[in-house]
Structure 1
Amino acid sequence: MDDHCRDCRAGLDHCHGSLIHHAYQATECTEDGCPGAVLPHSFALDCEAVGCRCAQIFALAV
């Protein structure tokens, strides 16, 4: 926890990591031990932004 974070000061459940959305798989978080989409995240991005190719593989399979 970080005392500079507004959600931490308010005692809200949240994650400081970034949520990564995959094309057809479960989401994952950059923070170890995070349950994924269960907690609110400040940042979310598509997996292609981090070099994942699952969207391309999914498009070829369809």
Structure 2
Amino acid sequence: MDDHCRACLAGLEHCHGTLIHHVLQAAECTEDGCPGEVLPHSFALDCEAVGCRCAQVYALAV
């Protein structure tokens, strides 16, 4: 086993950040300068996991 990223070693475009999915907004990444959903991410989560309330606001509006 190697301690380097397999995608980096293979020369694949990807991001090491975490993609955060929002309900009504574009997804955002924890890495500065990342174009978001354009690149593959190893980690992704819903925005509620980081304290965002946009899903609750959307549910109240519907």
Give identity over the alignment, percent. Answer: 83
Query: Higher helix fraction: Structure 1 or Structure 2?
Result: 2
How high is the TM-score relative to the length of structure 2? 0.94
Show structure 2 runs of 5+ residues with no match. none
Q: Which deviations, in whole Å up to 9, do the C-alpha atoms of 1:35-55 show, x marking residues without a partner?
A: 000000000000000000000
Cα deviation, residue 34, structure 1: 0.2
Show structure 1 runs of 5+ residues with no match. none
Q: Which deviations, in whole Å up to 9, do the C-alpha atoms of 1:21-46 show, x marking residues without a partner?
A: 00111000000000000000000000
The 1-side partners of 2:55 and 2:35 are apart by 22
Query: 1:42 matched to which residue of 2?
Result: 42
Letter matched to residue 10 of structure 1:
A
Q: How many residues are aligned here?
A: 60
Would you identify which runs of 4 or more consecutive aligned residues in structure 1 move more than 6 Å?
none
Letter matched to residue 18 of structure 1:
T
How high is the TM-score relative to the length of structure 1? 0.94
